[in-house]
Structure 1
Amino acid sequence: MPKYILFGDYCENALEKRTPYRQDHLEGLKQQKETGILVTIGPTKDNTKVFGIYDAENAEQVTELIENDPYWKNGIWTDYEIKEWIQAF
């Protein structure tokens, strides 16, 4: 199955603004991890970008997961890009 990477942006003051949505966000990511579609995801140390790796059938599947995430729906993630990734090692 192909792998896809997510590069995205957080809104300003994301640490404060994410609070009401954080638990639902984490539960969704946990479910994705348990099904094997999510390899890893997390913010940059300065909390301005998000990076993730997905093991998915296609980019549309990753798009659906991102756009159904509480962080996207509530403006915590403000922009994203998905690219198919070739894992060399």
Structure 2
Amino acid sequence: MKYYAAFLTMKDKEKSRKYRPEHLDYLKELRDQKRILLYGRLVDGAGGLIIYQGDSLEEVTEWVKEDPYVKLGARGYEVHEWEMQTDYTIN
């Protein structure tokens, strides 16, 4: 299992408000299926970030394309494989 960071870039604030419930339902569904590790909005209004768990970039990109925000034109997207570091110390 690999991790992927998906940036959902803001395209239309009104559509984002309108389709937020559908977007959150979709994220809950994928979270329940253990396909999403974390997600949240970017405080500056630029969009949001979702960390997916999947087998390939192609697989995760298909999930992102099915997000109501993306399908309905509220957000653009950019997906990158992400290497999570687990061997760190905070001082």
Whether TM-score is above 0.5 comes out as yes
1:44 paired residue number? 42
- C-alpha deviation, 1:21, in angstroms: 1.7
Structure 1: runs of 5+ lacking an equivalent: none
TM-score normalized with structure 2 length: 0.83
Identity rate, percent: 33
Gaps of 5+ in 2: 87-91
Where in structure 1 do 4 or more consecutive aligned residues deviate above 3 Å? none
Q: Which has the higher strand share?
A: 1
Equivalent residues, number: 86
Q: Deviations over 1:24-48 (max 9, x none)?
A: 2111100100111101112210221
Assess, with a 3 A threshold, how the Cα gap between structure 1 residues 18 and 7 changes in structure 2: closer, same or farther. Answer: closer
Structure of larger gyration radius: 2
For residue 36 of structure 1, what is the amino acid of its counterpart? K
Q: CA deviation at 1:69?
A: 1.1
Residue equivalent to 1:10: 10
Does the 8 Å CA contact 2:16/2:75 hold for their aligned counterparts? no
Instruction: Report the AA paired with residue 62 of structure 1.
Output: V
Q: Give the TM-score, by structure 1 length.
A: 0.84
